[in-house]
Amino acid sequence: MADPTVSVRDLTTWRDSKAVLDSISADVLPGDIIGVLGKNGAGKTTLLETLLGFSRPDRGSVAVFGEDALHLSAAAKARIGFLPQQDELFGMLNGRQQLAIVAAFHAHWDHALIERLTAEWTVPLTRRIDSLSVGERQKLGVLAALGHHPDLLVLDEPVASLDPIARRQFLQQLFAIGENERRAVLFSSHIVSDLERAANKVWIVKDGRLHWQGELDALKESVVRLHIRSRAPLPANLAAPNALATRIDGNTAMVTVTQWQPALADTLASQFDARIDVEGLGLEDIFLELHR
Amino acid sequence: MKAVLRIGWTFFTAMPLQRWLNGIGIVLCGMLAVLNLKVGEPTWSFVFLALFVPAGIVTLFASPAIFHGLSASRSNQLLPHFHIWMLAALAALMIAQLAMFALIFVAAESSRTPLLPALVHVFTFATVAFLLMFLALSGQRWAWWLWLMASAGFIASRVMPSMRIVLDAIPPWTWFGASLAAWTAFVLWYTRTRHIGQRRRYWQTANRSSPIDLDENVTRERALGLLLSSALLSTRWRKFWNIVVIVIVVVALLSQLTDPLAISIRGFWGTVTLYLPPVTSAFWVYCVTAGMQSATMTIVRNSRFLWLRIPGSREDVQRAIERAALRNFCTAALMLAGVAALYASPLAGASPRQVVTHFMIAACAGLCGAYAALSTFTVRQVDLIHFVSVLSLVMAQVVMFSLAQGSWRALAIVVVIQLGCVLLLRRLAIHRWRQIDWLYMRPPTQYAGLFQR
Amino acid sequence: MFVLNPQSGTPIYRQLVDQVTRLISGGQLTPGTELPSVRELAELHAVNPMTISKAYTLLETEGLLERQRGKPMRVATRRRNQAPLAQRLQQLEAAAAELALAARQLEIGKKELLTLVGDQWEKENG
């Protein structure tokens, strides 16, 4: 297996005697497109920025390309592309100047790619940035993070202000990046449907912990909703193994479980003398169920 | 009524700088009062002056921006009676400022001119300052030029006796009438208008190109410099304040150099800047310390931009930041040398010791200010530590300033103490930079400048 | 050609595998038919190409598709190896359980149920 692009071990950050990041361990492998999900204030931005060394963790360590995130060499930094949640563009410049400034820091800046994407995404480069719309600024920010073909691309809410067409174009670009197996993308978003299309792995951040990390497909296969219909009233203390949420209504019950195994249906069916229907859940529903 | 008071309070407290200055003014006030009693010369004008310099002048210049910021907000415009509240608060502010001025005027026993004409002049000045700056902020570029011309005319009236005679010949009620007419027009317009232009930079050009000369082949060094100074370029207020400070300095210098005895109403610029040694030296030292401190703070806050762009650890970023701050300091020192040269010139004829003392103390103050910003930045944007550190710096420097007037040896001792202080701050800076957290230490966002926190 | 719904509870790769399997067993996809390339399909449905290739790889190991050098995947021409009977029966188990449960709920006896299944079998096999 290839060396992980980012390797996080026991990452913990305290703030105001509350753990903003709580013992997080995870790996980002080359070829991964990881979607980071979490409700507002769950610690997504803290996590992403701590991974890149913007913040010093209280415990644990992060290695990016095998180097300590707090002490990255020029070579390692040149392989990182980062788009912060709040764009850091200079209002008094125009887009072309902004990109020129970013390009000045990279030996291999792909002008052709940026020209092409500028045209495709219709980013106005000759207007002052402070006269651009929020969405246009966001596109420009993404361009600024892409131009040097980073091997690790970290995008904090890259599509929040984009229209559906621009979001689709952004996804296509993400796939183009993902085709190169050396590259890894880590992006947070609240637009779950995009995440479902793009990500092959998901990190769900809840209360500073990685509540789930793994393949998106595995997550969907693991979390299901069971509809139990029995002939007799169901016991109020109905307990299915690994249940996230249980709602009982007389003879019927709705139970969301994780680590779903088809064999469980038989067990429950015979236990309650009931008919069991299994409903697969979309990522949005899974996210909601995990936050009950 | 509560709303009016709230808005009125906002005029004095909206900008972080204002809160600082008001705080410093109050402390300065207490200190000077004690100093005065010890010396045994109960000239209370010191006290009022100390209050007036920060609270009065800064508020006078800040109020148009605050007023505009509140008025231009669409959601505010939908509040019932909003425009009436705003105007009432503005009236209260004007009255408060005139009252403050009257207090100073009465307290300054040496004043021989009657109070009323003086008040009228101040009122006129406040009116011109407010209306022109408000217009300029609303996108009327010409207002800036008019404002600069008005300032220049004011200076001219200070230095050219003939012009002063002409101005003095105009009866005060003319000024009063004109100001009142301007206010009436403003009130009529303000209560009817549905749209107040968004704030724009006064140098924002009409064409859509960028005013910054930057081609596509930027070198890494230039890009680095731009990243660090971004806020200097993007905060229109910083630019504006620079001009205000320069105007004040020039007026103060010229008025002192040409007319050291004038304590007429138009002499108050001179009064607040250079006439009363303890107060004015404090003001000088404060200006240089705070100026360098705020310039350095900008660089420190922009350090986030460097993290993924220059290799190495936090120590490496710290070194880059320190270099940038020192470059800034060199520019400031050059400007101070210019001022010193002006003092040394036959025009002022200050003694070499005076010139050297002024220069050295101011330069050391600037260096202290820069290192205070480098070392006492607060990652979580709580100004308190920072505020206290700069305040105590200024206080210590004022004391040292008066000590250094004594002899060459006293000056040397003071300078050594100051440089020792710089070294200590540098140590602290290096220590603290190891922990810097760029999750919180962010460059100020474009529109956060004015109503930050 | 395929209906892929990323928002569904069924993973995208699973949807594709199921649909290809169904189309092949239903005869709509005849042996030798070329399938759209990974890139085409990913672009068309705006999903991660890795997901598509995961499905294709799975179908290949099941023997339904075969990879051709430098060309798109195609439906396997050789008849694929039959899985052992026990394994095939296992795939029917869930359906059988459901049927049995429904029959019990409708109070239908075992004999009647088997007759019904038998009739259905006759009908299907003409």
pLDDT, average across residues B45-72: 72
User: CA B11, B17, B21: angle at the middle one, nearest 5?
Assistant: 85
Contact C10 A197 (CB under 8 A): no
Is the CB of residue A209 less than 8 Å away from at least one CB of chain B? no
User: What angle in degrees, to the nearest 10, is found between the helix axes of A262-272 and C85-105?
Assistant: 30
Whether residue B78 is predicted with pLDDT greater than 50 in this model: the reply is: yes
Query: Chain-centre distance of CA B436, in angstroms?
Result: 28
Instruction: Report d(CA C48, CA B414) in Å as an integer.
Output: 69
For residue B42, pLDDT over 60 is answered with no
Distance CA B356, CA B276 (A): 19
Shortest CA gap A196–chain B (Å): 28
Structure tokens at B282: 């404090």
Tokens of B100: 């403050």
List C-alpha distances in Å: A285 to A155, A224, A238: 24, 10, 22
Which residue does chain C place closest to A170, by CA atoms? Answer: C46
**Tens digit of pLDDT for each residue in B3-16?**
788 888 888 777 76
Asked if A94 and B219 come within 8 Å (Cβ–Cβ), the reply is no
What is the reported pLDDT for A245?
Answer: 84
Render the burial of A217-236: b for 16+ CB within 10 Å, e for the rest: bebbbbbbbbebebeeebee
pLDDT reported for residue B387: 65
Q: B310 to chain A nearest CA, in Å?
A: 7
Give the C-alpha separation, B387 to B21, whole Å: 10
Token reading at C29: 């996809």
CA B180 to chain centre: 28
C113, C103 Cβ separation under 8 angstroms: yes
Minimal CA separation from B303 to chain A, in Å: 11
User: What mean pLDDT is predicted for residues A220-236?
Assistant: 86
β-pairing, A18-28 with A6-15?
antiparallel
C6, C8, C102 ranked by CB distance to A280: nearest: C8
Are A101 and B304 in contact (CB < 8 Å)?
A: no
Which amino acid is it at A147? G
Return phi, psi of residue A71, to 5°.
-145, 75
Task: Report chain A residues whose CB lies below 8 A from the CB of C8.
Answer: 280, 282
Q: Which residues of C touch A168 (CB under 8 A)?
A: 46
Do C9 and A33 make contact, defined as CB atoms within 8 angstroms? no
- Taking an 8 Å cut-off on Cβ atoms, the answer to whether B212 and A92 are in contact is yes
Per residue in B170-227, pLDDT (tens digit) is 788 888 999 999 999 999 988 887 777 665 443 333 334 444 556 667 788 878 887 8
CB burial string C3-31: b at 16+ within 10 A, e below: ebebebbbbbbbbbbebbeebbeeeebee
Report how far residue C8's alpha carbon sits from residue B25's, in angstroms, rounded to the nearest whole number. 65
Q: In a 3-state reduction of DSSP, which class is residue B446?
A: coil
**Residue B112 pLDDT:** 62
Which amino acid is it at C60? E
- What residues pair up with A37 in beta bridges, in sequence order? A204
Q: What's the gap in Å between the CA of A220 and the closest CA on chain B?
A: 33
| B301 neighbourhood in chain A, CB within 8 Å | none
Q: Which residues of A touch C9 (CB under 8 A)?
A: 220, 224, 279-282, 285
- Does pLDDT of B234 surpass 80? no
**Does the pLDDT of residue B450 top 70, yes or no?**
no
A49 chain-B contacts, CB cut-off 8 A: 438-439
**Yes or no, beta carbons of C7 and A282 under 8 Å apart:** yes
Phi/psi for A262 (5° steps) reads -55, -30
Residues from A in contact with C at Cβ < 8 Å: 31, 33, 168, 171-172, 175, 178-179, 193, 196-200, 216-217, 220-221, 224, 231, 262, 266, 269, 275, 279-285
pLDDT at position A128 over 90: no
Are A282 and A224 a contacting pair, CB within 8 Å? no
Cβ-based contacts under 8 A for chains A and B: 96
- Closest alpha carbon within chain A to B231: A90
Q: Return d(Cα B378, Cα B441) in angstroms, integer.
A: 8
Q: Could you identify the residue written with the tokens 């779903």?
A: A260
Name the stretches of chain C with pLDDT < 70: 78-84, 126
Asked if A53's CB is within 8 angstroms of B437's CB, the reply is: no
User: Which ipTM value was assigned to this complex?
Assistant: 0.84
Helices of type H across B108-137:
115-137
Q: Which residues of A touch C6 (CB under 8 A)?
A: 193, 196-197
Q: Choose among A115, A123, A113, A116: nearest CA to A180.
A: A113
Residue A130 is given by DSSP the state G
- Of A77-81, B61-65, B426-430, give the lowest mean pLDDT range: B61-65
* Mean pLDDT in residue range A203-212: 91
A94 inside 8 A of chain B by CB? yes
For C30-51, write each residue's pLDDT tens digit.
888 888 988 889 989 999 988 9
pLDDT of A87 over the 90 cut: no
- pLDDT (average), residues A187-208: 92
Helical segments of chain C, H only: 12-25, 38-45, 49-61, 85-105, 110-124
Q: Would the CB atoms of C10 and A200 count as touching at under 8 Å?
A: no
Mutation site for A-interface testing, chosen from C17, C39, C50, C105 by largest number of A Cβ within 10 Å: C50
- Asked whether C and B share 3 or more beta-carbon pairs under 8 angstroms, the answer is no
Q: Which residue has the tokens 């209280």?
A: A58
How far is it, in rounded angstroms, from Cα A260 to Cα A268? 12
Using alpha carbons, select from C11, C91, C21, C1 the residue that is nearest to residue C61. C21
Ranking B221-235, B251-265, B275-289 by mean pLDDT, the lowest is B251-265
Select the residue of A168, A175, A193 nearest C49 (Cβ to Cβ). A175
Give mean pLDDT, residues B23-37.
71
Nearest CA in chain A to B380: A15
CB contact under 8 A, C48 and A283: no
CA atoms within 13 A on the CB side of B330: 6
Predicted confidence (pLDDT) per residue in A72-84, tens digit: 999 999 999 999 9
Question: Over the stretch A18-48, which tens digit does the pLDDT of each residue have?
Answer: 888 999 999 999 989 999 999 988 889 999 9
- φ and ψ at B368, to 5 degrees? -60, -45
% of chain B residues with pLDDT over 70: 64
> For residue A96, is pLDDT > 70?
yes
Subunits with 3+ C-beta pairs closer than 8 A to A: B, C
B336 sits in which H/E element: helix B314-344
Q: Give the pLDDT score at A141.
A: 93
CA A153 to chain centre: 12
**Quick one: pLDDT at residue C80?**
54
Binary contact (A221, C11; C-beta < 8 A): yes
- Identify all chain B residues contacting A55, using CB atoms and an 8 Å cutoff: 437-439
Residue at token pair 């800076």:
B429
Q: Do chains C and A touch (3 or more CB pairs under 8 A)?
A: yes
